[in-house]
Amino acid sequence: MWTYYPDLLATHVPRYTSYPTAADFGELPANAYREALESVHGDVSLYLHIPFCEQICFYCGCNTGRANRQHRLASYLDALHTEIATVAALLPNDARVRRISFGGGSPNAIAPADMLGILDALSRHFHLEAPILSTELDPRTMSQDWADAIGQAGFDMASLGVQTFAAHCQKAIGRVQDEDLILRSVDWLREAGVGSINFDLMYGLPGQSEDDLLDSLQRTRALGADRIALFGYAHVPHIVPRQRAIPASQLPDQEARFAMADLGYRYLCTHGYTPVGFDHFAKPGADPMASAALAGTLRRNFQGFTDDQAANLIGLGASAISSFPGLLAQNEKNSGRYRMRASQGLLSAERGIRRSAHDRYRGSVIEALLCHGRARIGARLMAQVRCEIAPFLERGLASFDEEWLTILPEGLPYARTIAALFDTYRAVSMRQFSSAV
């Protein structure tokens, strides 16, 4: 059982799906994104953002809106098709796409035929090399037609937004979905040939108890999830206005959140799942993420933990983020402005940051700590953080030996806090980030 040290969890920290984080982005230099695209070689991964949901949940911090205006949705898809052609035309001939991921929002807020149309456009404009296909899905709007399209396209992985099975928690976060909807979605996906199914679950929800979380974990296991992402709810209504519908007084306090994270970790590790980083779990032999964690090849990108080894990730769609060794670039967030730019054949990336050699070094340290629990730290860098890291060493949460900093088993819930010690940008206000646990 983990030990709770409130003083070490007092500061909110990023999830570090990139370094620097999106909070550090500024206006991009002219032509920076174009030059990055033109310099891509080798393996490439694509991420397509569908910023629509048929129903908007109170807790959600994603860039998404209601899919209730067909003209707006059709206009967005037209712009996305144009962006696909624009971006693909700038890539060198040896760039090969080996992964394609759909996220949102809810990709199944669009018609199955539209999803197949996007895949067809990608095959016409990019050089695809039998890419691994994955998508996020909302069980509330899942259909047999969507499952048929997933089977036709040959999707390998799907992630279901479950969050919780507790009815009172579902009502409080605006995501009411009974177990039959989720079971039906799983059955459809299995029949469609999807080999890996992920459940997104959350703790720290309004009115949620440890028994509620345990029940959700048991049901998730019974439904055969191959992978589980167990996130702590981040309550930031000053950034996500829709979260004002969730009273802060109903949220578990930090100590209760810590206990839930501990419960989730202990339950999943003793019921057939391998821990992947600090908040993912996967079945050995059934999911490639577990293999990556065991082999030491786990990575971290804007989709979270991944076994994707590509150095270049290209984001397509409003707010999508692209990652290159020397540059992070984010498309226009506003869907209307994105449509205007993309439909004219203009590149949509308007914010981002150049990654210096210093950034890449620190980013590699942060990624190694979060993915593998250890990182090699040079003497100069260690000297810069020695005072801040001392409390973690003294309490047996981490160790330092011959240039290797290791997060010990007791220190796992403090992984993001330890990683943040190497973040030179963290002096910027942390109010926009989530609790470390």
Residue 26 is labelled as binding a ligand: no
Residue 110 is labelled as binding a ligand: no
Question: What is the spatial distance between Cα 74 and Cα 58, in angstroms, rounded to a whole number?
Answer: 25
Question: What is the spatial distance between Cα 274 and Cα 139, in angstroms, rounded to a whole number?
Answer: 25
Output the pLDDT for position 428. 52
Output the pLDDT for position 278. 83
Output the pLDDT for position 429. 46
pLDDT digits (tens, 9 = 90+) for 86-118: 999 999 999 999 999 999 989 999 999 999 999
Q: Extract the tokens encoding 196.
A: 């890996």
Output the pLDDT for position 431. 47
47 residue type, one letter: Y
Residue 47 is labelled as binding a ligand: yes
Residue 200 is labelled as binding a ligand: yes
pLDDT digits (tens, 9 = 90+) for 244-256: 999 999 999 999 9
Other beta carbons within 10 angstroms of residue 322's beta carbon come to 24
Residue 53 is labelled as binding a ligand: yes
Q: Where on the phi/psi map is residue 204: left (φ > 0), alpha (ψ -120 to 50), or beta?
A: left
Residue 175 is labelled as binding a ligand: yes
For the chain, report the end-to-end CA distance as a whole number of angstroms.
15
Residue 60 is labelled as binding a ligand: yes
Output the pLDDT for position 205. 97
Name residues whose C-beta falls within 8 Å of residue 31's C-beta, 6 or more positions apart in sequence.
Answer: none
Residue 59 is labelled as binding a ligand: yes
Ranges of residues in the chain whose predicted pLDDT is under 70: 65-69, 427-434
The residue behind tokens 């089977």 is 151
Domains recognised in the chain with CATH numbers: 1-20+357-436 (1.10.10.920), 22-354 (3.20.20)
Output the pLDDT for position 286. 81
Question: What is the spatial distance between Cα 220 and Cα 162, in angstroms, rounded to a whole number?
Answer: 9
The DSSP bridge pattern shows strands 42-50 and 312-316 to be parallel
Residue 62 is labelled as binding a ligand: no
Strand partners, 135: 102, 158
Output the pLDDT for position 69. 65
In Å, what is the CA distance from 430 to each residue of 1, 92, 180, 194, 435?
28, 39, 40, 39, 10
pLDDT digits (tens, 9 = 90+) for 3-46: 999 999 988 899 999 999 999 999 999 899 999 999 999 999 99
Torsion sign over Cα 235, 237, 238, 244: negative
Output the pLDDT for position 433. 64
Residue 57 is labelled as binding a ligand: yes
